[in-house]
Amino acid sequence: MKKFNKDELFCRKCSVHDTFFEGGGATSPNSCPECGGTDCIMYENLSSLHRSKARDKFDIMWKKKFNL
């Protein structure tokens, strides 16, 4: 399980880490792969429930991305 810094960003709606965001570039912001949103919140501002959800989701998405 990864330890997050207090300034790492997560999707405000579904707690996806910004590592997994899609798109971006000069013309559009990165967006969440689950909800398509661009609104982010820092880890230190997440509630304890959302922190737990974010850690679990990160582990699942990391294993899926790298076939572990």
Tens digits of pLDDT across the chain (68 residues): 678 999 999 999 999 999 999 887 777 788 999 999 999 999 999 999 999 999 999 999 999 999 88
**β-strand pairing of 22-23 with 9-11:** unpaired
Cα→Cα distances 57→26, 45, 49, 51, 66, Å: 28, 17, 12, 10, 14
Question: Which pTM was predicted?
Answer: 0.86
Mean pLDDT taken over the chain: 91
pLDDT of residue 29: 82
The 3-state DSSP class for residue 26 equals: coil
